[in-house]
Structure 1
Amino acid sequence: MHTLRYFRHAIWVSLAGLAIAAVLGGSAGLWAAFNLALLETSLSFDNAVVNASILRHWDKRWQQRFLLWGMIVAVCGMRVLFPLVIVAVIAHAPPLPGPFSVYEWISSGHWPANDVLTMAIVAPHRYADTLQSAHIEVMAFGGTFLLQVFWHFFLNQNKESHWLRPLERAMQQLGRLEMAGVVLTLVGLLALASALPQPEAWRLLVAGIWGLIAYTVVNGISALMGSDSSVVRAGWGGFIYLELLDASFSFDGVLGAFALTRNIFLIAIGLGIGAMFVRSFTLMLVEKGTLSELRYLEHGAFWAIGALAGVMLIAPLAEVPDAATGGIAAVLIILAALHSWYANRRDRRGAGE
């Protein structure tokens, strides 16, 4: 019962969201929203662990700010507005109705379908196809950003604990090379681009470089605001960093959601429910000190980030099912948790002897 209190708000939001989904789409809408919530939760559990690993170093005020404001940005911004903005850029149309649209509707009784939100409502297949056409750019940007997060953790010279010791120690030694993460990422992007036709290769490279720039800028802002080399401290720099991190995690879920439904309201409900459970997991991990008790859990989460980044970057070459992606992350985190439990038990036995 003590643990369930962390999920109280998520459960109430789930019940309300699923009820609205049933009204909007009947049993099919309810089923789609339920499956989207499961998909988002399974794909983003590693996100919860990573968020908790950063938030545990923050004071209570900034923890609450991220968990509240970050939740609003995660649901409204990334799950609703972000896809609208992408389609708006591709279709050269405004993402939302403007005042002139309302005026025309009042004066003529006809709603002009010249904005992306209207397109998503009245022509969901066209909206989904337009969004999917940016698949390469979205995956390359998000995959590159997450890959830099992965390298930052494992190439860190101040990292003291290791889970997969031989491999992680070798990576830490590699981190002695200046800008090793940037070099490795650029080499990977060039290798992937060489396997694609020229137009797609160019799209992947440009979006990947923008992902690299975004990570560098946000990390630089965090450093200017007082973060050290290993932890993004509380403050607006850290807040922006975590929001971009959450955005990168959500890219594959947002695009994959259209395989279940083209209704943007059902997608927002399903992904929003999943985001609420991720927030609840994050809060539980921070307050219960789970990361301190399970010493390798954080490592497992960052390995899961590396796996997700790899899947996103090879998406233009080979499609990996979302279930497989979530399964890989879950297996890595579970193995890390089990190994932590075994190591703790071994240490207690040694201390008893």
Structure 2
Amino acid sequence: MVVRTFGISVLVTIASLVVAFIYGSWEAVALCAILGVLEVSLSFDNAVINATVLEKMSEFWQKMFLTVGIIIAVFGMRLLFPLVVVWVTAGLNPVQAFDLALNPPAEGSGQESYEQILTDAHPQIAAFGGMFLFMLFLNFILAERETKWLSWFEKPLATIGKLDQLAVIIAGLSLTLVAEFLADDQHRATIMIAGVLGMITYIAVDGLGSLFHTEQLEEDHERDVASRAAGGPSTLVKATGKAAFFLFLYLEVLDASFSFDGVIGAFAITADPIIIALGLGFIGAMFVRSITVYLVRQGTLSDYRYLEHGAHWAIGALSVILFISIEYHINEIITGLVGVAFIGAAFLSSVVANRREERSDGDSTPKSGGGESPSEMATATD
């Protein structure tokens, strides 16, 4: 199971390191390895969230996410996205932006470097990605759920979450405060626009996905009822068609929002777009996809009930970090450790809860009076 799930990622990693060696010798290999580890550490919570959505999709759309999706993740977000940002903000076409990335200007030339242009665009990127992730966190934490992790805190939130559109209200107020206190006069308007676009993107993609998924559930329920009435088996509902397409689109936007901090953080290690694409994309993104598949196939989310909660709390923390990074630099190590800490705590809580249930089930097992096991007594009775 492990070999089958992670085998392709290992092969891609080896191939990427070989390409890095050919491209830039051992230094490039080391940089690729570092970027791969950075991406996995920053995106582990992304893998957990991806798994919660992916398990709702049909096998065909799961394969689409792992094939077409990885192409979008590697070439779209880790290679083309930085070029587009430089293109838009600096007025350079993609070819010029790529040339600038490969050939940094000499010091004192007066021309901004590729890295500097992308760093200057960070406030808008952080506002968009942070608001998208913050909306995701709010819609999860304000919903009434049977399973609660931090019940002392999640119960009151679920109670006030019954107020219609509370997530939008909180997100709007938060964006206003971020623009007022964390943005300078030069970026305040663009941060507001980027944040609102992040909110709109989340509402649109999530709303369309929910709409088509609801319609499909109704249709599948009718077919299921008809099948059972005819004596056939009950079918497990998986999203297909338009519902699956919008879930796929939702996953890609979610992956993009998670990758913003990784792409920006990569420039603290190297500004070479080829090394970034190899390290973040081919190595890091592939392993994140493999972790996602492993979680789905192993049923890990159902076995460890609080993992989804921990991932969403990590998302909430990441969104706050993105907001703060508009004004202050946050080390990528801190970002990665916060996500790992939440998910690790949720995993341990799940293990403790599972053991507690096992003990209570064992204590409630009826004991026979004559030293016979319940199965032996049943056999004797028969």
Same topology, TM > 0.5: yes
Distance 2:349 2:3 in 1: 25
With over 3 angstroms needed to count, the CA separation of the structure-2 counterparts of 1:86 and 1:220, relative to structure 1, is: same
Residue pair 1:7, 1:277 contacting (<8 A) in 2 also? yes
Alignment-derived partner of residue 121 in structure 2: 134
1:92-116: CA deviation from partner (whole Å, max 9, x where unpaired): 23224xxxxxxxxxxxxxxxxxx22
Give the paired residue count: 332
Q: Which residue of 2 is the match for residue 326 of structure 1?
A: 336
1:252-267 aligned within 5 A: 252-267=261-276
| 8 A contact 1:54–1:233 mirrored in 2 | no
What's 1:47 paired with?
Answer: 46
Q: Residue deviations 1:149-204, cap 9 Å, x none?
A: 101111123x2110000111111112111111111111111112221332222222
Determine the C-alpha separation between the residues in 1 that align with 2:71 and 2:179: 36
Single out whichever of 22-31 and 147-156 deviates more from structure 2: 22-31
Q: Given the two structures, how large is their TM-score scaled by the length of structure 1? A: 0.90
Does 1:119 pair with 2:100? yes
- For residue 144 of structure 1, what is the aligned residue in structure 2? 131
CA RMSD of aligned residues (A): 1.8
Runs of 4+ aligned residues of structure 1 deviating over 3 Å after TM superposition are: 231-234
**Alpha-carbon distance in structure 2 between the residues aligned to 1:174 and 1:48:** 29
SS in structure 2 of the partner of residue 226 of structure 1: helix
Q: Deviation string for 1:111-144 (max 9, x for gaps)?
A: xxxx222222223771111111101000010000
Q: Displacement, 1:4?
A: 3.2
Mapping for residues 300-311 of structure 1, pairs under 5 Å: 300-311=310-321
Confirm or deny: 8 A CA contact 2:58 2:238 kept in the other structure. Answer: no
Output the amino acid matched with 1:333.
Answer: I
1:161 aligned residue (126, 147, 150): 147
Q: Distance in 2 between matches of 1:269 and 1:232?
A: 34
Shift of 1:288: 0.6
SS of 2:186 mapped into structure 1: helix
- Stretch of structure 1 that moved more, 291-300 or 59-68: 59-68
Superposed, which structure 2 residues align to 1:15-34 within 5 Å?
Answer: 15-34=14-33
> Which structure 2 residue ranges, 5 or more long, are not aligned?
106-111, 216-236, 364-382
Matched residue, 1:225: 212
Determine the structure 1 residue equivalent to 2:218.
none
Secondary structure of the structure 2 residue equivalent to 1:199: coil
**1:194 alignment counterpart:** 180
CA distance in 1, matches of 2:274, 2:262: 15
Percent of aligned positions that are identical:
42
1:90 matched residue in structure 2: 89
User: 5+ residue gaps in structure 1?
Assistant: 97-114
- Pairing 1:2-81 to 2, within 5 Å after superposition: 2-81=1-80
Which protein has the larger Cα radius of gyration, Structure 1 or Structure 2? 2
Distance 2:291 2:176 in 1: 37
Provide the rounded CA distance (Å) in 2 between the counterparts of 1:144 and 1:225: 24
Question: What's the counterpart of residue 101 of structure 1?
Answer: none
Q: Answer whether contact 1:40 1:275 (CA < 8 A) is retained.
A: yes
Q: Distance in 2 between matches of 1:206 and 1:232?
A: 36
Tell me the SS of whatever aligns to 2:250: helix
